[in-house]
Amino acid sequence: MNLGIILYVLGMVCMFEAGFLLLPLFTAFLYQEYNIVQVYGICIVICMVIGLILVMTTRKNRADMKPKEGVAIVGLSWLVLSLLGALPFFLSGEIPHYIDAFFETVSGFTTTGSTILTDVDAMSYGSRMWRSFTHWVGGMGVLVFLLALLPSKNGSFMNLMMAESPGPDVSKLVPKVRDTAKYLYWIYIGMTAIQLILLLLAGMQVFDAVTLTFGTAGTGGFAVRSSGFEDYTILQQGIIAVFMMLFGINFNFYFLLIKGKLKDAFKMEEVLTYLGIIVAVTAVIVISVYPMFNNLFYAIHHVFFTVSSLITTTGYATVDFNLWPSIALVLLVTIMFIGACAGSTGGGIKVGRINIMVKGIVKEFYTLFHPRSVKKVRMDGRPIAHDVVRSTNVFIALYLLIFVGSVILVSLNGKDLVTTFTAVAATLNNIGPGLAGVGPMSNFSELSYFSKLVLSFDMLAGRLELLPIIMLLIPSMWKVSRKPRQNLKG
């Protein structure tokens, strides 16, 4: 293990976080919240000092980054981001207990949207901006942003992108990993800007438009008003619903569109499956909830918003879907687990993995009936490498182990089964709201601090695709590599 490169990148991450904190500081200054300005100023200094110390003391010792270092850097970077990012909430007194502040920050960076706040309106504008901005930073990944700015001599930073990017496989869009990161962020920034402009044209207030756009782009879900979405128009809700769906699509799809490769873009099986699931689930739920609305347009609007929100693991809500019929709730919980596309800002298991898993099952049944046949799992007309299929199976198995273990630990809190089960589902899949006691009109404040730490672990594990966080707990991961001594005899 090369500790030099790990500490160097962690130092860069701390310095980047200091830069990110300038936005809430400026927001607090704009709204004349001078006590909040002081708090964010102190936090900026803390992040900058830590970052400079780490960078200056390790810059001469850093070397090439191997996959093991890449995994460690990703896991530690997100942990450090959350630990430091919680300081403004805690130091300002807006979230008095540090574990609550940590939970809220982890929820922000992992784009989960689960909250312990009971009165969002009581929070300062600066801190509400920070909550929403953490969604945008975490949506694409702070290390992808770092890759876009820092050159790599031999492409070893690809190990960072592979460890941080969601999905069963990560490939370069263009030959250089730095250029790939730039393309991803330009697409991300462009879509963010388009949504912001549309919300402003639809009459939404600037602060709400900016913060909700951050939450939509990162598929996060923090509301900026205690009333949730009740104060927004049907048009404004509709724009957010459409963009939640769009940010859940694999960004390779948009890259192909930009390059004029329309045929290749619309041949992507994962995207077609994702859109098909949204249409099918929306249709079935509309039929089941229509009597509750007694208006087809409103039924379609609220159901599409909810389906788009939950399959992309954003977590915004226009209605209390806790009150919907059982068939609707079962379908909603199902798409919570499925999640969005690989290579998007959404969470969940990912549609790509579901496709690979289903095709793998079909292949096994085919092999049983035709033992001598040679059949490969294919995606988009191309055979999938065995390593991708194997890693998908490992992910599903590890996912189930973590899910069951988390449910057991959170059940010690004494809540009912639906609350416990969906609290873990909502955090491990980075969704936000669950059902019952953690439903769309409730929050996570009533859970114990132990449960919040377990769920914070789940949020980090879910956002980072399990392995980077799990591997931090393996002792052999931290063995420092030593160069073997040369034999000078003979």
Pairwise CA distance, residues 176 & 90, whole Å: 41
- CA distances 290 to 139, 172, 287, 403, Å, are 34, 45, 6, 34
CB neighbour class for 257 (10 Å; exposed up to 12, middle 13-18, buried from 19): middle
pLDDT of residue 154: 47
Pairwise CA distance, residues 151 & 220, whole Å: 29
pLDDT of residue 134: 94
Return the closest-CA partner of residue 107 out of 467, 473, 429: 429
**pTM given for the model:** 0.89
Contact (CB, 8 A) for 226 and 119: yes
CB neighbour class for 326 (10 Å; exposed up to 12, middle 13-18, buried from 19): exposed
Pairwise CA distance, residues 97 & 210, whole Å: 28
Pairwise CA distance, residues 75 & 10, whole Å: 10
Pairwise CA distance, residues 107 & 85, whole Å: 11
Contact (CB, 8 A) for 269 and 380: yes
Residue 71 is which amino acid? V
pLDDT of residue 64: 63
Contact (CB, 8 A) for 477 and 465: no
Would you write out the chain's pLDDT as a tens digit for each of its 490 residues? Answer: 677 888 888 998 999 999 999 999 999 999 999 999 999 999 999 999 999 999 888 765 555 667 677 778 888 989 999 999 999 999 999 999 999 999 999 999 999 989 999 899 999 999 999 999 999 998 877 666 666 555 554 445 555 555 555 555 545 555 455 667 778 888 999 999 999 999 999 999 999 999 999 999 999 889 898 888 888 999 999 999 999 999 999 888 998 898 888 888 888 899 999 999 999 999 999 999 999 998 999 999 999 999 999 999 898 989 989 899 999 999 999 999 999 998 888 888 899 888 888 888 888 888 888 777 777 777 777 777 777 777 788 888 899 999 999 999 999 999 999 999 999 999 999 888 888 889 888 889 999 999 999 999 999 998 888 877 888 887 776 666 555 444 444 4
Helix axes of 142-149 and 67-85: crossing angle, nearest 10 degrees: 110
Residue 244 is which amino acid? M
β-bridge mates for residue 383, sequence order:
378
Q: Tokens in use for 386?
A: 């065995």
